[in-house]
Amino acid sequence: MIGDLFDSPWKIAIIAILIIVLFGSRKLPGAARSLGQSMRILKKEMTSLHEDESDAPPAPVTVTEPTPAQLQAAASAPADPAAAPVAPDAQAQIAALQAQLNNLQQTVGANGTTATDSQQTR
């Protein structure tokens, strides 16, 4: 039915004239300009999306759990922050926190409850 509407150039011309009469000649250039801007934005976003897909994903970060000796060394670190470099101490703290997080996740998985469930029952 709609395919029959655009089969003749006369029908297309009549529809174009009706559009111009209905919307007015003043609004049509603005509408065409806005449509063009929208198309440019869409093309730009699509090309950036394709570029993002073609980029290789970053290498996965591996976190190793500290040994008990490393945890004890981190706990017995000097209290003077100027005496020891900051980066190794921070790495030890991160590793200790990661180990605690893993233990909590295993505990929650074994119990079958979440931490918020146990807090709400108290």
Task: Please tell me whether residues 19 and 43 are part of one structural domain.
Answer: yes
- Asked if residue 43 is part of any domain, the answer here is yes
d(CA 92, CA 73): 9
pLDDT in tens, 10-58: 888 898 888 888 877 778 788 889 989 999 999 999 988 888 777 655 5
- Asked if residue 16 is part of any domain, the answer here is yes
- Asked if residue 20 is part of any domain, the answer here is yes
For 22-90, give the secondary structure using H, E and C: HHCCCHHHHHHHHHHHHHHHHHHHHHHHHHHHHCCCCCCCCCCCCCHHHHHHHHCCCCCCCCCCHHHHH
Query: What is the model's pTM?
Result: 0.30
- Asked if residue 63 is part of any domain, the answer here is no
Task: Look up the domain containing 16 and give its range.
Answer: 2-54
At residue 39, the pLDDT reads 93
Amino acid sitting at position 34 = S
Lowest mean pLDDT among 5-9, 24-28, 44-48, 60-64: 60-64
Task: Please tell me whether residues 49 and 74 are part of one structural domain.
Answer: no
In this predicted structure, the answer to whether residue 107 has a pLDDT above a threshold of 90 is no
C-alpha 5, offset from chain centre: 45
For residue 7, give the DSSP letter. S
At residue 121, the pLDDT reads 52
d(CA 64, CA 95): 7
